[in-house]
Amino acid sequence: MRSDLAKAWELLDAGDPQGAVRELRRVADNLPAAELAPVVRKLAESVGIDELADAAGALAGRPADAGAGAGALYAYGYACIEHGLSELAVPALREALRAGAVPAKRKLFGRGGGRQVNPRQVLLELAVALEDGERHAEAVAVLQEHRAITGDWPDGYLLAHNALMDGRVELAREVFEALEAPDGDTWAPAADRIRRSLARAAAVPPAGPTDLRGWHYTLTGGLLATLSTHGFQAGMTGRWAMLGDSYENCHHSLERLRTVLAATGRRPSSVALLPDRGSEALGLAAAALFGLPAAPYRPGAATADALVVAYDLNECDQELVEALYERAPGELLYEHATCWTDSPAVSADISGLLVQHVAAPWEPRLRVDEDGQVEQGPADDAPAAELADRIRTATAAPDEGDGQTPPDPNEALAAFATRATTTWAIGNRDRIRSSGPVRSSRFA
C-alpha cells in the first residue's frame, strides 16, 4: 500500500467514506490513476455506486495494457465525473488524452454512439472535470494546447467560459466572437449566458483580481450589496466563511438593497413572500421598510414588478426557486445570504452578502453561559411576523469589522449600481457554480 493512500484506506476501514473522499482529493493529482483505482473501488462499493466500482475495478485490473488501459482510464474518469468526484477524474483523463484514441463506453454530452472515443472527447471531459474543480486556468491551458482537434460547440464555449471564470475577459471575448452561431437550441442558452457576461464586463469592468463586487456582477449578473468587514487581509476578499447572522445585519443589508433600488431607478410595486419562515420574515421586514404591500409568491405574471425576497435560496422550496429562473416582467430577486461554495439553483439579482455557512438570527447558536462554559443556545421560535418586526426595529449600522477591510460606503455601491443599470436584471437567472477569479479562504 502506498503511504500516500494509507490515510484514505484507514478512513474507509473506519466507516468514514466522506473523510476518504477528502483525502483522495488531496492526493489525486500526485498519483497515477491506476494506483488510486483500488481505493476508489472500495469507496464506491461502500456507498453502493456500482458503475464507479466497476470502472475503478477495470482500471485497477489492467493498468499495464496500454490500449485497454486507455479505455479503462476514460470510463473511470467519466464515472468519477458522473458521481461528483471530478478531482479524481483529472489524472485519469490526462493519461487517456496522452494515450490517444480509446474504446468508448459512451459519448460526451449525450452525443450518438460509436465504436471509439477520439482524443477530442477525452479532452472535453478533462476540461469539464477541471472546470468542476474551479481549476479554470488549467482548463483554458489544455483546451488551448489542443485547439487543433477542437470545434466550436461545446469546445469553444468551454474555452470562453473557463477564460471568464479565470478573469480573462479579453480572451473569452476573442474566442466567443470567433465562434459560429450554435445550431438549434442546445447551445443557444450557453451562448446567451456568455454574451450577457461579456456585456456586463464591458459596462462595469472589474477593477482587478480582488474586485469581488465587479466579478460577481460580470459572472452572475447579481449586484452584491455588502462586503465582509472581516478577514480581507487573511484571504476572505469580501466573502464570509462562517457567519452568525444578526437582526441588525439583516436590516443593514435591506438598507443597502434600498440603495441599489434608488440607484437603478427600480420601484417594485409589491414584495413577494417565499413560504419558508426566514424568507417570509425578511420579506415582511422589507415590505414594512419600503412601504410596499406583501403577498405570497406566485410564479409568472402575478409577480410582475414584484420584489421577491429570500433569506437563503438553498433553504427554500426548490420547485419555487426553479420557477424564478425565468424572470417575470420587472421582477427582482433579492437573497440575503448567498452561498458561494454551493451556489443556489438561480442567481439573485441582488445578494446581501456571500457566505459559505450562515446561522440565521433565529437559529440555535453557541453562547457562553454565566460560568464561562460554551453551550448551544435555543432557537427563536417566534412567528415570521415577530421576526420581521425585530429586523425592522434593529439598528441598521454596519458591523465595524476588524479595521483592515477597505471601506465600502453607500456611495460606492450606488455608483456601481448606476453604471450597471443598462445591463442588469436582463434575461434568465443562470446558476454559476464557480466562485470565479476572486479566491477566498473556505472550509473543506
pLDDT tens sequence across 329-356: 999 999 999 999 999 999 999 999 999 9
Please tell me if the domain spanning 3-197 has the same topology as the one spanning 207-423: no
**84 and 41 Cβ atoms separated by less than 8 Å:** no
> 207-423: which CATH architecture?
3-Layer(aba) Sandwich (3.40)
Which among 65, 88, 67 has a CA at the least distance from the CA of 77? Answer: 88
Residue 113 has pLDDT above 50, yes or no: no
d(CA 129, CA 227): 30
- Nearest to 72, CA basis, from 46, 45, 40: 40
For 3-197, CATH gives: 1.25.40
pLDDT tens digits, residue range 19-47? Answer: 999 999 999 999 999 999 999 999 999 99
Model pLDDT, residue 378: 85
Q: Are 187 and 157 in contact (CB under 8 A)?
A: yes
Residue 368 clears pLDDT 70, i.e. is over it: no
Q: Is the pTM of this model over 0.85?
A: yes
* pLDDT per position as a tens digit, 390-409: 999 999 988 888 888 889 99
Say if residue 123's pLDDT is above 60.
yes
Cell numbers that stand for 43 in this block: 469507496
SS3 readout for 175-244: HHHCCCCCCCCCCHHHHHHHHHHHHHHHHCCCCCCCCHHHHHHHHHCCEECCCCCCCHHHHHCCCEEEEE
- Average pLDDT of the chain is 91
> Could you tell me the residue ranges of all domains in the chain?
3-197, 207-423
